[in-house]
Amino acid sequence: MSTTLAWFERAFAAYWSPVLAALVLFWAYRLGKRALAIWAGHDVDFPDSKPSKETEPGVKGSMAWAVVKWLTLAIVLACATGYGLFLVLGSPSLPDRNTFTTSELLDLMKIGLAVVGGLGAVVALAVAYRKQQVSEAAHLMAAGQELREHTKFFNERYVSAAEQLGHERFAVRLAGVYAMVGLADDWPAGRQTCVDVLCGYLRTPYPEDDPTEREVRQEIIKSLLDHVWDFRAGEQRVRMDFRKVQFEDLDLSRRKFSGEMDFEKAVFQGELTNIADCVFTGKVNFSGAIFKSGTTSFAGSTFESATVLFHRTEFRGNRVEFTQSVLSDSELSFAEATVGDGMTVTFRDVQAQHSTISFEGVHLRNAELDFADVSFLPSKAYRKVSNISLRRVVAEATALTFRGSKINDTNLRLDGAELADCAIDVKDLELIKTTVLAHGLMPVEAVKLFHSLTGAMQKVPVPEHGDLRQDEPQ
């Protein structure tokens, strides 16, 4: 028995200090990890004999439990620090208490009082931190309540404006337009929804028996297109969806078009569709639209890094004007568009650089395609050229005019075009560093005409069947 006790005494004397150090370090690690999580603002679950009560939203547990946690953490850290110093100093033996002098006892008392004061400071800090948490939680709750009240108020205004838009009386519907636009001003989070409602109203069937409806719709269009909203950095801009909308005598002159507007399959009718003196940037879509107006004018507009699509668009009026427009790094694409009999599509006095005007696959009959006095400016970048594309154009009894134009650094593409009974005017046309691509061009007279232009093509024999072959530029 005595041997066993002696063995336990020796083992305890040899291993008690490492075991205690390991336990202290383990709990210090656990408590330190949780303390860092708390300071970082994360929720930490502490074991408790009773379910924790939330005194305020976002604040868990009672005040007493918070004080106990912080006080325990402070004591453990203090013990760990003291024990660490004890080991660093070589585990010195403490003197007998009878050997302490009065001065040393007073110093020990001061140290004890300092420790107690430190623990009291920890308690005070815990209480202050807890109050700060409660204050922040109350602020968040108040902010959330205010946000809910604002949202409720905006939703009530939205419902009221929507009901006004569906009213039978003209004055009430007009008031609904103004109410919805005003709500879009005041409610950035719901601005796109308000705009979508107004655009959706424009897509509803047009009541022919109500003469006041046109004024309501014109006011919607005017309010949306003339409105300027302020956007903060990172906010998405409002997208105006005018797809399948019917416009009559629409005046959009002197406005800026960007990628926020979509006119796909819209119908433009009346005497004049005026989109003159505008600025186009980004991608604007008129694909599938129908222009029934007598005159459709884009005259004097500026296209800057823009892509304006008229794919499969129908032009049924008398005249489409792009006169005196300026194109820079832009593309106007009329691919597979339909031009009505007797129409004139004019680009007279247009200035372009690094840009493309494409009529690929367009059908014209008894029409006029006017590129007179056009200036395609020299390229400012290596291997960057402009393009005029009439590929696969099918034209019958149509006037094609390049009179007085000066075209630099451009590919003039006529490959696959069929120009039957067409009058082609190339008087005073200057082609400088310009390549004409005419593979499959018909008839042979058109091939000979473009072949005769100085600098237009390489000198190669003209085949009898009108197929002039030349490699396309890389």
Is the pLDDT higher at 381 or at 216? Answer: 216
Task: Return the domain boundaries, the chain.
Answer: 24-92+102-146, 166-229
Is the pLDDT higher at 197 or at 235? Answer: 197
Instruction: Give the integer Cα–Cα distance in Å for 337 and 287.
Output: 9
Return the structure tokens found at 454: 């100085």
Instruction: Give the integer Cα–Cα distance in Å for 120 and 71.
Output: 9
Instruction: Give the integer Cα–Cα distance in Å for 473 and 358.
Output: 17
- Among residues 312, 276, 306, the alpha carbon closest in space to that of 291 is found at 312
Instruction: Give the integer Cα–Cα distance in Å for 355 and 370.
Output: 17
Does residue 9 surpass a pLDDT of 60?
no
Return the structure tokens found at 118: 């430190």
- Among residues 273, 280, 334, the alpha carbon closest in space to that of 302 is found at 280
pLDDT, one tens digit per residue, over 285-295 is 999 999 999 99
pLDDT bracket for residue 141 (50, 70, 90): confident
Return the structure tokens found at 281: 């940037």
Report, as an integer, the average pLDDT of 5-30. Answer: 66
Highest mean pLDDT: which of 111-125, 201-215, 239-253, 281-295? 281-295
Does residue 404 surpass a pLDDT of 70?
yes
Instruction: Give the integer Cα–Cα distance in Å for 457 and 452.
Output: 8
Q: Please say whether the beta carbons of 330 and 350 come within 8 A.
A: no
List 333's β-bridge partners, or say none.
Answer: 309, 358
pLDDT, one tens digit per residue, over 423-462 is 999 999 998 888 888 888 888 888 888 777 744 443 333 3
pLDDT bracket for residue 194 (50, 70, 90): very high
| Maximum C-alpha span of the chain | 130
- Among residues 138, 122, 117, the alpha carbon closest in space to that of 56 is found at 138
Q: What pLDDT, on a 0 to 100 scale, did the predictor assign at position 325?
A: 97
Q: Please say whether the beta carbons of 251 and 276 come within 8 A.
A: no
State the distance between the two ends of the chain, measured CA to CA, in whole angstroms: 102
pLDDT bracket for residue 310 (50, 70, 90): very high
Average pLDDT over the chain, rounded to an integer: 80
Instruction: Give the integer Cα–Cα distance in Å for 72 and 320.
Output: 84
List 320's β-bridge partners, or say none.
Answer: 296, 345
Q: What pLDDT, on a 0 to 100 scale, did the predictor assign at position 383?
A: 76
* Exposure b/e, 281-309, CB count within 10 A at least 16 = b: bebbbbbbbbbbbebbbbbbbbbeebbbb
Does residue 31 surpass a pLDDT of 80?
no
